[in-house]
């Protein structure tokens, strides 16, 4: 599978390939993916990652075959690093630290401290609660000196041990193992959510991700402070503020969002769709917005985020952002945390900063529903 335009295993190999202290890289693969991985090695020119070995039915068997593949060159005190192909983002610092501690004490692994309270169960009920201060979720790299790994495998064979990772083999042989906290981005790609997280870290936008920018502006009907007027903004009515001059209610926020969504979809601007509504006497901008929202849903998209930049002297926007976000959340059917609203007075450099009207810019991101 690919992330950021490259196969996941590319990143796993690269984490070790360009290090001066790594002599060889052996890839333990299945018969099914052998040809593909050989092609990856060739395509990305990994001269030190060219040795490929077929694995076994279990992780333990695969590890044994990988260790055997380096047995002719490896010396007893050489450091051997075992790493999951599905852990593409180990940090260089944790690799450095595991090597250092292995050279000092013989073995070291990486992992994450556990923040959740851990319960032991028996299939139906909770048996006990474990002290999370003494628990550590193992990741890779898992590292030991070659001779120590060999003895651990021999011990496992002798005692018919089935281990789920290399550290378990080492523990069973009586070897003391140091540990290093893994980087937060060093995690195993197991589920679809892990895969999506990886793509996000690598800066890859989701498939069918769209972005659009929209703008709208209106002058006030009465630039002065009309006590009887009512301003409509983001779908809310703001009393004692001058109304915007428009054929509709003049809601510049909803109009800008309309244009942003329409642009992201490759559709036309607000006027193309709203003029007909105006002729019918429809003045509620929420009704206009429904037109583009229906087109968006028809194409299988949903709103991901909305960002607004408003320029005006009046009203003061910051005190209104809570109400505006709540209103937009209901209209657009997205959480308020995905709506951002900022504002500026414009330092009187424009008509909007001078208090003659309101201008709004909107940027909207869409994603497949």
% of the chain at pLDDT higher than 90? 80
Two structure tokens written together for 8: 């996941």
How remote is the C-alpha of 295 from its chain's centroid? 28
Judge if 67 and 214 occupy the same domain: no
Sorting pLDDT into bands at 50, 70 and 90, what band is 50? low
Q: Alpha-carbon distance 109 to 139, whole Å?
A: 7
Q: Determine the average pLDDT of the residues in 209-231.
A: 80
Sorting pLDDT into bands at 50, 70 and 90, what band is 19? confident
Instruction: State which of 14-28, 156-170, 203-217 shows the largest mean pLDDT.
Output: 156-170
How remote is the C-alpha of 10 from its chain's centroid? 19
Q: Alpha-carbon distance 156 to 338, whole Å?
A: 53
Sorting pLDDT into bands at 50, 70 and 90, what band is 209? confident
Q: Determine the average pLDDT of the residues in 123-127.
A: 91
Judge if 97 and 131 occupy the same domain: yes
pLDDT above 90 (res 204): no
Question: Domain ends where: 138, 171, 201?
Answer: 201
Q: What is the CATH number of the domain that holds 259?
A: 3.30.1330.50
Q: What is the CATH number of the domain that holds 26?
A: 3.90.550.10
Q: Alpha-carbon distance 152 to 166, whole Å?
A: 9
pLDDT above 50 (res 338): yes
Judge if 41 and 190 occupy the same domain: yes
Q: Determine the average pLDDT of the residues in 50-74.
A: 94
Judge if 175 and 324 occupy the same domain: no
The structure's pTM equals 0.70
pLDDT above 50 (res 127): yes
pLDDT tens for each residue of 276-319: 887 888 889 999 999 999 999 999 999 999 999 999 999 999 99
pLDDT tens for each residue of 67-113: 999 999 999 999 999 999 999 999 999 999 999 999 999 999 999 99
Judge if 182 and 260 occupy the same domain: no
Q: Note the pLDDT of residue 123.
A: 84
Question: Domain ends where: 183, 201, 219?
Answer: 201
Are residues 178 and 161 in contact, defined by beta-carbon separation less than 8 angstroms? no
Domain count, the chain: 2
**CB-side neighbour CA atoms (13 Å) of 95:** 22
Nearest to 95, CA basis, from 85, 105, 82, 106: 82
Instruction: Look at 205 and 159; give whichever has higher pLDDT.
Output: 159
Judge if 24 and 142 occupy the same domain: yes
Question: Domain ends where: 201, 227, 254?
Answer: 201
Judge if 220 and 145 occupy the same domain: no
Q: Note the pLDDT of residue 228.
A: 61
Judge if 222 and 123 occupy the same domain: no
Judge if 113 and 218 occupy the same domain: no
CA angle 265, 363, 357 (to 5 degrees): 115
Q: Note the pLDDT of residue 225.
A: 47
Q: Determine the average pLDDT of the residues in 26-36.
A: 95
- Mean pLDDT over the full length of the chain: 92
pLDDT above 50 (res 131): yes
pLDDT tens for each residue of 296-306: 999 999 999 99
Judge if 164 and 301 occupy the same domain: no
Neighbours of 101 (CB within 10 A): 18
- Kindly report the three-state secondary structure assignment for every residue of 12-68: HHHHHHCCCCCCCCEEEECCCCHHHHHHHHHHCCCHHHCEEEECCCCHHHHHHHHHH
Q: Alpha-carbon distance 353 to 183, whole Å?
A: 47
Containing structural domain, residue 223: 210-368
Judge if 194 and 238 occupy the same domain: no
The set of long-range contacts for 227-231, using a CB threshold of 8 Å and a minimum separation of 24, is 231/315
pLDDT above 80 (res 205): no
Q: Note the pLDDT of residue 222.
A: 65
Judge if 98 and 62 occupy the same domain: yes
Number of residues that this document lists for the chain = 369
Of 16-20, 39-43, 44-48, 77-81, least confident by mean pLDDT is 44-48
Q: Note the pLDDT of residue 49.
A: 61
């Amino acid at each position: 599978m690919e992330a950021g335009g490259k196969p996941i295993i590319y990143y796993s190999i690269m984490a070790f390939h360009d290090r001066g202290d790594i002599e060889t890289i052996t890839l333990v693969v299945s018969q099914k993916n052998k040809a593909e991985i050989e092609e990856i090695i060739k395509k990305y020119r990994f001269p030190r990652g060219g040795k490929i070995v077929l694995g076994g039915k279990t992780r333990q068997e695969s590890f044994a075959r990988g260790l055997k593949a380096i047995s002719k060159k490896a010396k007893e005190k050489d450091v051997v690093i075992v790493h999951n192909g599905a852990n593409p983002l180990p940090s260089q610092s944790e690799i450095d630290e595991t090597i250092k501690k292995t050279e000092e004490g013989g073995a070291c692994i990486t992992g994450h401290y556990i923040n959740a309270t851990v319960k032991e169960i028996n299939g139906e009920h909770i048996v006990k609660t474990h002290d999370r201060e003494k628990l550590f979720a193992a990741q890779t790299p898992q590292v030991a000196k070659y001779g120590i790994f060999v003895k651990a495998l021999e011990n496992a064979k002798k005692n018919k041990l089935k281990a789920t990772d290399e550290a378990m083999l080492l523990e069973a042989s009586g070897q003391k193992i140091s540990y290093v906290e893994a980087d937060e981005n060093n995690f195993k790609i197991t589920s679809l959510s892990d895969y999506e997280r990886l793509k996000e870290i690598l800066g890859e936008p989701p498939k069918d991700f769209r972005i659009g920018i929209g703008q709208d502006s209106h002058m006030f009907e009465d630039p002065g402070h009309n006590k009887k007027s009512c301003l409509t903004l983001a779908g809310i009515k703001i009393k004692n503020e001058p109304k915007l001059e428009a054929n509709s209610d003049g809601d510049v926020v909803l109009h800008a969002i309309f244009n942003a969504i329409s642009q992201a979809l490759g559709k036309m601007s607000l006027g193309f769709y709203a003029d007909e509504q105006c002729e019918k006497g429809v003045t509620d901008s929420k009704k206009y917005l429904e037109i583009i929202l229906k087109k968006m849903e028809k194409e299988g998209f949903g709103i991901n985020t909305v960002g607004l930049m408003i320029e005006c002297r009046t009203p003061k926007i910051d005190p209104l952002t809570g109400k505006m976000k709540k209103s937009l959340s209901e209209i657009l059917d997205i959480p308020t945390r995905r709506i951002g609203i900022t504002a500026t007075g414009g330092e009187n450099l424009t008509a909007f900063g001078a208090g003659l009207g309101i201008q709004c810019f909107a940027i909207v991101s869409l994603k497949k529903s």
